[in-house]
Chains A and B, each alone.
Chain A
Amino acid sequence: MQDIERLIEAMAEALRRLFTERGIANPALVGVHTGGVWIAERLRTLLEISDPLGSLDISFYRDDFSRIGMQPQVRPSELPFDVDGRHIVLVDDVLYTGRTVRAALDEIFDYGRPDSVLLATLVDRGGRELPIEPNVVGTRLILSPGENVKLTGPDPLRLVVKTS
């Protein structure tokens, strides 16, 4: 499998270029539990961002609660900065249907009104069910619907493909 740390370095580069292009001086990073937080932590170091990292557990915002109920082991969401007027980079490990990102966007807006939200994801595996596209992608994988890719970590980070 690919060197994850390399992919994250490339993502940091791409984000830096985007910040310059858009004139974003003070971005804030928000990782989606759990894999997204691991990646966001590394991006925060690489991009030398001083603000603390935000983290979201989107369990209470899922669109399938009335089908599958609560996820086990929910963690608190934390956005330890003022969301109003901020440029936010939402970070997740794997982008698939887009439903997690939809839920994360909803949750961010319950904290305040950001100026913009960028989406950075380590893996884009296609298969979107919602009109959501990433701004920065580490790698694209072509997987069949029966296959699943999961990020394990936090140290070392590894992508594991499993057939369900």
Chain B
Amino acid sequence: MSAATIQLDNKGRLLHFLTVEGLNREHLIEILDTAESLRGVAERRVKKLPTLHGKTVVNMFFEASTRTRTTFELAAKRLSADVLNLSISTSSTVKGETLLDTLRNIEAMQCDMFVVRHSQSGAAEFIARHVKPHIAVLNAGDGRHAHPTQAMLDIFTIRRHKPDFPHLRVAIVGDILHSRVARSQIHALNILGTGEVRVVAPKTLLPAHVEALGIRVFHDLRQGLKDVDVIIMLRLQRERMQGALLPSAQEYFQCYGLTEERLTLAHPAAIVMHPGPINRGVEIDSQVADGPRSVILEQVTNGIAVRMAIMSITLGAHAQAARESA
């Protein structure tokens, strides 16, 4: 069994959210529609719903992250759950405790959901396999494998601006090789029947057999941007880069940086996205990042509603499953 199969129960309900791969259109639409109805909560006087009152969500972050952890925390709190934030790289693992030991200990604190970020691909899946059945596991990024909640918030942001996926051209630009975000986005865009998905990157930043994902590959940014409706810039993950995949950050910007001038090649109403954190002057020019076509901060806002949706759906699925087996 893979991550794609263990996240669903035998009725196709989403018990964990580990990867976009293997989900069907209905799963994605349910997440997007639920997120849509949660978006308005932030504009109310009381920015809180009672849905997960009495539940405990643990953010298990084995890898540093500010935005992802914060939006998961806010999402849980806006659903009235209690939240525990653990930065595990700095505590138990340095004392020699294994992942399974850490897991058993947190489990013993009677929690209901684990949000897991780890530098190793498959970490969230490993935890989902070993966790007690009442606990839902959400993948907040595992190695180079997947970052499904980020992909869903990106899709949600695209849908709010350009809902007609079969007629969309989407270009994902940059470090595809190291990007779990790109992988999850490509799966999600394919599931929704997106007209054309392109990746634009130098050969050294593309995984082998990337065409097998059903996408068009470009090595030239100008060609890749031609007439696209959505541009997703990826962060140049310098901290992940071992060996000389690239000559220098400046040279990268010369070839693959998104500037105002290059943006004119895309469709005039194209939107510019970036999962953050942005490297200004490396993959994107400040003028574009802060410009009128940028929806980068909107992505951050949408991340809260999308994570609230995924939390309610997975914990709701656990409730249904538990009731049926009772």
Contact = CB atoms under 8 A, between A and B. Distances in A.
- Secondary structure of the A side of the interface? loop
Dominant SS among interface residues on chain B: helix
Contact of A70 (B34, B48, B323): B34
Interface in A51-85: 57, 59-61, 65-70, 72-78
Given A60-B312, A74-B33, A78-B40, A67 B50 contact: no
A76 B40 contact: yes
B316 A65 contact: yes
Contacts of B36: 76
Contact of B37 (A69, A76, A112): A76
A17 to B, nearest CB: 32
Nearest to A73: B33
A110 B323 contact: no
B49 interface: yes
B319 A77 contact: no
A59 B50 CA distance: 10
Given A61-B49, A61-B50, A67 B319 contact: yes
15 contacts: A57-B37, A60-B49, A60-B79, A65-B51, A65-B52, A65-B319, A66-B54, A68-B323, A69-B315, A70-B34, A76-B40, A78-B40, A110-B48, A111-B45, A112-B45
Interface of B: 30, 33-34, 36-40, 44-46, 48-52, 54-55, 79, 312-313, 315-320, 323
Given A67-B319, A68-B316, A111-B44, 19 more contacts: A60-B49, A60-B50, A60-B51, A60-B79, A65-B52, A66-B319, A67-B323, A68-B320, A70-B312, A70-B313, A74-B34, A75-B37, A76-B40, A106-B50, A110-B44, A110-B45, A111-B45, A111-B46, A112-B45
Going nearest first, the 8 A-B pairs with the smallest beta carbon separation are: A69-B316, A70-B316, A110-B46, A69-B319, A76-B37, A60-B49, A69-B320, A60-B51
